[in-house]
Amino acid sequence: MKIMLEEALKEHLQARGLKIATAESCTGGLVSHRITNISGSSEYFPGGIVSYSNEAKVKFLGVSWDTLNAHGAVSQEVVLEMARGARTLFGADIGISVSGIAGPTGAMPGKPVGTTWFGLSTSSGEWARHFLWDGDREQNKQYSSEAALQFVIDYLEGRLS
């Protein structure tokens, strides 16, 4: 039987005594929802922010207007600032962030529908991942929540360099 990502995350975080915080845009809280579907998640999940607007990214997560103006909300630079901001805001060990274009509208030159960036921030380093999903809006959100949880598990299992 395949273990759910949410359960695997719980096991890793509890075994190490670590806490995780989220900063979500295009997923609208789906990553946080999946984490909190697991009983006992309050032990390792102090909270998350849904920062759908640029104003919210700046106000709550400390994302720089300069970064947003230079790179756009859907960028490596912004998701790293979002992840760092969530980790700091909630006093967590790990911050995971996601920003993307779920569709069907919102495409920009160089950033088609499905473009999604993920940021991971820890005291030992920061990483980013990029995907281009090909589903509808709901599918893209689901793919993104899955990728965000997997990103954290990859970190916890030592698969990031």
Q: Residue 62: inside a domain, yes or no? A: yes
Strand partners, 23: 49, 97
Residue 63 to residues 54, 68, 72, 89, Cα–Cα distance (Å): 8, 8, 11, 12
Judge contact between 20 and 96, C-beta under 8 A.
yes
Q: Mean pLDDT for the chain?
A: 96
Spatial distance between the Cα atoms of 58 and 61, rounded to a whole number of angstroms? 6
Spatial distance between the Cα atoms of 84 and 30, rounded to a whole number of angstroms? 19
Band the pLDDT of 2: cuts 50, 70, 90: low
Q: Residue 39: inside a domain, yes or no? A: yes
- Its domain, for residue 23, covers 16-156
Q: Residue 67: inside a domain, yes or no? A: yes
Residue 54 to residues 90, 98, 106, 143, Cα–Cα distance (Å): 20, 13, 14, 23
| Stretch 51-56: mean pLDDT | 97
Q: Residue 4: inside a domain, yes or no? A: no
Q: Residue 142: inside a domain, yes or no? A: yes
Q: Residue 57: inside a domain, yes or no? A: yes
Judge contact between 60 and 91, C-beta under 8 A.
no
125-146 pLDDT, tens digit each: 999 999 999 999 999 999 999 9
CATH code, domain with 91: 3.90.950.20
pLDDT of residue 35: 97
Q: How many domains does the chain have?
A: 1
